[in-house]
Amino acid sequence: MASTTSPWNEPSSWHGPKVACEQANGSGTTQDHQKQFAITHITKAPITSAPIRSSLIQQLLKEQLEDLRDCHEGEVADYIPELAKANPEDFGIVMATADGRVYAVGDWEKTFTIQSISKPFMYGLAMSLLSPSFMEKKVGVEPSGDAFNAISLDPRTGIPRNPMINAGAIATAAQVWRHDPGRAEDLTLEFFSSLAGRPLAVNESVYESERASGHRNRAISHLLRNAAVIEEEPEPGLDLYFRQCSIGVTCRDLAVMAATLACQGRNPLTQDEPLNPALTTRMLAVMGSCGMYDYAGQWLYDVGMPAKSGVGGGVLAVVPGRLGIAVYSPRLDAFGNSVRGIATCRRLSQALELHLFDQTPLQQSPVRSTYKGTERRSRRWRSTAEAAVLDPLRSQIKVLHAQGVLDFAALENVLGSIEQAATDGAVIILDLGQVSELPAASSAFLKRQSELLQAAGQQLLLCRSSHLELPAALSREKFTYASLDLALEAAEDLLLEKSACEGSAGNGSTALAAAPKGTPTDACLLGLLAPLAANLREAITERLELRHYAAGSLVMARQQESDQLFLVASGRFSIFLPIPRPEAPARLARMATFSEGMVFGDAAFFSGELRMADVVADTDGSCWLLQRSSFEGLQQDNPAAAMALLTQLAIDLGRKVALCGQQLTLVEDL
């Protein structure tokens, strides 16, 4: 469980005692297809200039840096002579988040060589070029108890134990070289540059120094050749290994590379995708078990992040899905890990509760709210006949609003809610608008659930899912709707259809099928004017004129004069209101949809103000229009008929207002 102390409510204790490098010496207390894994996208990486941020987080890193500056334990690596030139006092800390924010303090711009931190990335490159299954035959994934530079192979398998020790890393580099001898180094540099988000280059002096002094690594490469792990002469592969280790990076570069791993292979600053999720999972797993030399077990126990360190003084750690951390400080402990690097990561892990196994159970329900169709209806206005059929059935509509990441645990919860809602004849609407991620396994479950419901005579409709990847069977029009409103309308239509199928001839459904015959009387009898005495109705209808509209045509537009009243004779007409959005064109939202016998355009007709909304014909249709001048004529010639019309319109408006008010109140309460 997460501890309850936060770095901010206990400012003096969170970063631990002043003795800076406590426990840094290891005595701590505590068959794939190649294509599937192919690199999806490498561009010539641009130089990213995301600003270094100044904030509370920055301040926290700075406190950390100041606190650990007093730590002078450890020695700068000198077995590669050029590395001994590093300034032991250099110290930089950088954090890069999954959404591309970078916090950097200290010597974050100083270039040093990546050394062993290149190993997991080279392994990722090899897997993407040759497939994971191929690489599994060349290098194992078991932690080794030996030193990182041990001249040994796993006696059981005859191959290097893992790609994080030199034997495994040299075998990996040899495979990358063999894949494309002419371009291996360019491929490597392009790949690393894409991970860091800026062009990287080899430090030639370190490379020369490493090549000249790397007798042990040369011995390892010959051992690999002898064991046929390397199929060609060992020198070119070994040379590529020396060059990959000599790539110059800054602490910021490493943090961005770590963040790219945290983002499943997408660089959060450039949006390049040098890796894919399947590869990053494997890389992080190997880093988790073998990344910190012989300190890997204690590291995972104390710090709990997949990580890799290098003898150049860098440490890179990943909080999967969240962020990357990099530290640069060249003094190393007996295991070859940066002393301050380890201490920094341990403190950050504790203070910020970043330990991988410190997972809090789901705090937020993945189902935000549930209610029935009685509490929220579509903006499609229903005729009296339709309403008579639909209203008693509305409770069969169940709406579920899901939220967050629907991983397995969350989806299991959603499925439970769906099952609960799946009473006889239910139409369940699952709103995915607030779902940030729907992994493939979860969407497959949803598809299966939808099939099960259908087989039981129920229906699952999804809405607001365009940002998610759904299986083709679910993303078909019949199951997926752009808005909750459209899904509610579809659910209502389904209930009406079902009741029409189930009902016998002569019930409400025959009234629903009635169509206007071409005289005002026929159409209006269904609606607004039906209750009027024949003589009054006639006085009104003879002043109406019929107008036809093709599907999709604009019937009226915002800001127009409002000189007409519309009485729908046939077809469907929708009113759209623009919803302003910050920095985006307004979205047109449906306010209402009307069908035969219903009136629109009445509000502005009476107020005399400009139209406030657009009206579009959803289908081919026609309306009876009452011009303002005709209405004024009616008022003159037949005040009784004008009064009767006004009374009907007032009743209609009253109903609309009452229903809108009720819906608003219910919706506000949901």
Q: Which residues are marked as active site? A: 116, 119, 241, 293, 311
Strand 75-76 vs strand 92-97: parallel, antiparallel, or unpaired?
unpaired
Which runs of E-coded beta strand occur in 447-563? 459-463, 480-481, 545-549, 554-556
**Strand pairing partners for 104?**
94
**Strand pairing partners for 110?**
none
3-state secondary structure of 343: helix
Using the minimum distance from each CB to ligand GLU, give the nearer residue, 116 or 250.
Answer: 116
Please give the backbone phi and psi of residue 97, each rounded to the nearest 5 degrees, phi first.
-95, 165
Using the minimum distance from each CB to ligand GLU, give the nearer residue, 60 or 164.
Answer: 164
Kindly write out the interface string for residues 432-461 of this chain, putting x where it contacts ligand GLU by CB under 6 A and - elsewhere.
Answer: ------------------------------
Using the minimum distance from each CB to ligand GLU, give the nearer residue, 207 or 600.
Answer: 207
Using N-to-C axis directions, what is the helix angle for 234-245 and 184-196, rounded to 10°?
A: 20
Single-letter residue type at 419: E
Q: How far is the CB of 149 from ligand GLU (least distance, A)?
A: 6
Q: In sequence order, which residues have a C-beta less than 8 Å from that of residue 138 and are 6 or more positions away?
A: 159, 171, 172, 175, 229
Of the candidates 576, 574, 601, the one whose C-alpha atom is nearest the C-alpha of residue 587 is: 576
Of the candidates 205, 237, 202, the one whose C-alpha atom is nearest the C-alpha of residue 218 is: 237
Q: How far is the CB of 482 from ligand GLU (least distance, A)?
A: 53
Q: How far is the CB of 245 from ligand GLU (least distance, A)?
A: 4
Q: How far is the CB of 314 from ligand GLU (least distance, A)?
A: 9
Of the candidates 129, 128, 107, 254, the one whose C-alpha atom is nearest the C-alpha of residue 181 is: 129
Using the minimum distance from each CB to ligand GLU, give the nearer residue, 110 or 543.
Answer: 110
Q: 């209502």: which residue's tokens?
A: 492
Cβ count near 366 (within 10 Å): 23
Kindly write out the interface string for residues 129-168 of this chain, putting x where it contacts ligand GLU by CB under 6 A and - elsewhere.
Answer: -------------------xx----------------x--
Residue among 64, 115, 289, 509 that touches ligand GLU (CB under 6 A) = 115
Using the minimum distance from each CB to ligand GLU, give the nearer residue, 112 or 594.
Answer: 112
Q: Are the CB atoms for 439 and 406 separated by under 8 Å?
A: yes
Using the minimum distance from each CB to ligand GLU, give the nearer residue, 115 or 564.
Answer: 115
Please work out the total of residues on this chain that contact ligand GLU, with binding judged by CB under 6 A: 11
Residue among 64, 116, 193, 276 that touches ligand GLU (CB under 6 A) = 116
Question: For residues 176 and 139, what is the distance between their CA atoms, to the nearest angstrom?
Answer: 13
Site for ligand GLU in 335-394 (CB under 6 A): 336
Cβ count near 538 (within 10 Å): 16
Q: How far is the CB of 165 from ligand GLU (least distance, A)?
A: 9
Please give the backbone phi and psi of residue 568, each rounded to the nearest 5 degrees, phi first.
-70, 125
Using the minimum distance from each CB to ligand GLU, give the nearer residue, 116 or 383.
Answer: 116
Using the minimum distance from each CB to ligand GLU, give the nearer residue, 214 or 527.
Answer: 214
Q: How far is the CB of 286 from ligand GLU (least distance, A)?
A: 15
Q: Which residue is nearest to ligand GLU (CB)?
A: 116
Q: In sequence order, which residues have a C-beta less than 8 Å from that of residue 227 and are 6 or more positions away?
A: 153, 158, 159
Q: How far is the CB of 185 from ligand GLU (least distance, A)?
A: 16
Q: What DSSP string describes 654-669? A: HHHHHHHHHHHHHHHH
Of the candidates 39, 38, 49, 37, the one whose C-alpha atom is nearest the C-alpha of residue 197 is: 49
Site for ligand GLU in 215-234 (CB under 6 A): 217
Residue among 71, 200, 229, 245 that touches ligand GLU (CB under 6 A) = 245
Q: How far is the CB of 93 from ligand GLU (least distance, A)?
A: 19
Kindly write out the interface string for residues 303-342 of this chain, putting x where it contacts ligand GLU by CB under 6 A and - elsewhere.
Answer: -------xx------------------------x------
Q: Is 194 in the site for ligand GLU (CB under 6 A)?
A: no
Q: How far is the CB of 239 from ligand GLU (least distance, A)?
A: 12
Of the candidates 257, 131, 263, 96, the one whose C-alpha atom is nearest the C-alpha of residue 192 is: 257
Q: Is 210 in the site for ligand GLU (CB under 6 A)?
A: yes
Using N-to-C axis directions, what is the helix angle for 234-245 and 118-130, rounded to 10°?
A: 130
Using the minimum distance from each CB to ligand GLU, give the nearer residue, 188 or 509.
Answer: 188
Question: For residues 343 and 506, what is the distance between their CA atoms, to the nearest angstrom?
Answer: 82
Using the minimum distance from each CB to ligand GLU, give the nearer residue, 166 or 459.
Answer: 166
Dihedral (Cα; 568, 570, 572, 576), 10-degree rounding: -30
Buried b (16+ CB within 10 A) or exposed e, 197-229: bbebebbeebbebbbeebeebbebbbbbbeeeb
**Strand pairing partners for 429?**
399, 461
Q: How far is the CB of 200 from ligand GLU (least distance, A)?
A: 16
Q: Give kind and range of the element (H or E) at residue 289.
A: helix 277-290
Residues that bind ligand GLU (CB under 6 A): 115-116, 148-149, 166, 210, 217, 245, 310-311, 336
